[in-house]
C-alpha cells in the first residue's frame, strides 16, 4: 500500500457549538459542549489513513490523561502509534474551539508537547521518511523540525506537501524544499502580504509563492472551491455541493486525502478533486477526526457530483 508520512501535532479538542460566534469581550450562552481528538498532524494522518494510505505518524505527546487517550484513540482508529514520542516535561496539546450554526469556527491552541519536537527526533525518523512516497507536514511543530523534515524528504526524492497552518512567515530556503503548498485564502494572503478574498487574488498570491520557490500552490477557498497553480498551468476546482455543519477539520481532510491520492500515483489534478470531495464530506459532520470520511464516502460524493461542480 502506498505510504504517507505525516509529521505534526496531536491535540485534544474541547468544542462549544453556538448559534453565532462571540465578538471580542462578549459571552454567548446556550451552547452545546463536546470533546474530540484533533491537532493538524493527527487529523491529517487519520484523514490519509481513512482515505486509503498506509500512514506513519510522527508526533510528540505528554505523559498525561490527554496523551494516553489520544494514543488509544489513534490505535483504535487503525493508525500506528509506534513513532509517537512521549514528552516527560510538557502536557499534551489542547485546542479550544467555538463553532457557529453555519459551521464557521474560531480556534485557540495550547501546543504543549507539540512545540518540544526536536530536529534530532526528526533525523531519527529518516528511515521512515525515505521509505514514504509523500511527506505531509504543517506548522504546529517547531519550524526547524519542518525544514529538516522537508530537506530529508528532498534528499530521498519524496514528494513534500506543506500545509502552512497556523500561518507564519517562511524563509525562501524552506519554501524551496516544498513541492506542494496548500494555504487557505487567509494563509495565502499572510504569506504574501496580499489580501485574498476572490479567485483572482488567490491566483496573484499563488504566483508570488511560485516565485519564492514552491513548485505547486493549491489555495483552498472553502465554499468557493480551490485553485491549483504551477509554472505554465492553472486550474480552478469548484466546490462539491453539500450542506455545511462544521468546518473544523475540512482543511485537514483535504490535505490528508491529497497526500493519499498522490501516494497512489494519481495525477495532481485528479488528486485535488479527491481532496475537494474529502473536505466537502467532512463539513457535513461535527468534530474533527470523527468527521473525517472513509475512501468509499469520498468516491461516492465524486460519483454523485458527476456533471456538477466538485
Which residues have a catalytic role annotated?
Answer: 252
Look at residues 12, 108, 106 and name the one whose alpha carbon lies nearest to residue 59: 12
Residue labelled with grid coordinates 525544514? 147
> Coil, strand or helix: which one is 33?
strand
Residue 194, preceding bond cis, omega within 30 degrees?
no
CB of 98 closer than 8 Å to CB of 105:
yes
Residue 68's Cβ-count burial label (10 Å; 0-12, 13-18, 19+) is: middle
Q: What DSSP assignment string belongs to 56-123?
A: EEEEEEESSHHHHHHHHHHHHTT---TTEEEESSSPPEEEEEEE-TTS-EEEEEE-GGGGG--HHHHH
Look at residues 132, 180, 115 and name the one whose alpha carbon lies nearest to residue 3: 132
Amino acid at each position: 500500500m502506498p505510504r504517507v508520512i505525516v509529521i505534526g501535532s496531536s491535540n485534544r479538542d474541547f468544542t462549544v457549538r453556538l448559534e453565532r460566534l462571540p465578538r471580542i469581550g462578549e459571552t454567548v450562552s446556550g451552547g452545546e459542549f463536546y470533546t474530540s481528538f484533533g491537532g493538524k498532524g493527527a487529523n491529517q494522518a487519520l484523514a490519509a489513513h481513512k482515505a486509503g494510505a498506509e500512514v506513519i505518524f510522527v508526533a510528540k505527546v505528554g505523559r498525561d490523561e490527554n496523551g494516553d487517550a489520544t494514543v488509544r484513540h489513534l490505535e483504535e482508529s487503525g493508525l500506528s502509534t509506534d513513532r509517537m514520542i512521549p514528552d516527560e516535561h510538557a502536557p499534551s496539546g489542547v485546542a479550544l474551539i467555538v463553532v457557529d450554526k453555519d459551521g464557521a469556527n474560531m480556534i485557540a491552541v495550547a501546543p504543549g508537547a507539540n512545540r518540544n519536537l526536536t530536529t534530532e527526533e526528526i533525523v531519527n525518523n529518516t528511515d521512515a521518511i525515505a521509505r514514504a512516497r509523500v511527506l505531509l507536514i504543517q506548522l504546529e511543530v517547531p519550524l526547524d523540525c519542518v525544514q529538516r523534515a522537508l530537506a530529508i524528504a528532498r534528499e530521498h526524492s519524496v514528494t513534500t506537501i506543506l500545509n502552512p497552518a497556523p500561518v507564519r512567515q517562511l524563509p525562501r530556503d524552506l519554501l524551496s524544499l516544498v513541492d506542494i503548498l496548500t494555504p487557505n485564502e487567509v494563509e495565502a494572503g499572510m504569506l504574501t502580504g496580499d489580501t485574498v478574498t476572490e479567485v483572482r487574488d488567490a491566483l496573484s498570491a499563488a504566483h508570488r509563492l511560485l516565485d519564492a520557490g514552491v513548485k505547486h500552490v493549491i489555495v483552498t477557498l472553502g465554499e468557493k472551491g480551490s485553485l491549483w497553480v504551477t509554472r505554465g498551468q492553472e486550474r480552478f476546482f469548484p466546490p462539491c455541493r453539500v450542506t455545511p455543519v462544521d468546518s473544523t477539520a475540512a482543511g485537514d481532510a483535504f490535505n490528508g486525502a491529497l497526500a493519499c491520492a498522490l501516494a497512489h500515483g494519481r495525477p495532481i489534478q485528479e488528486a485535488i478533486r479527491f481532496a475537494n470531495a474529502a473536505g466537502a464530506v467532512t463539513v457535513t459532520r461535527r468534530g474533527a477526526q470523527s468527521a473525517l470520511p472513509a475512501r468509499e464516502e469520498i468516491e461516492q460524493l465524486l460519483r454523485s457530483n458527476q456533471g456538477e461542480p466538485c
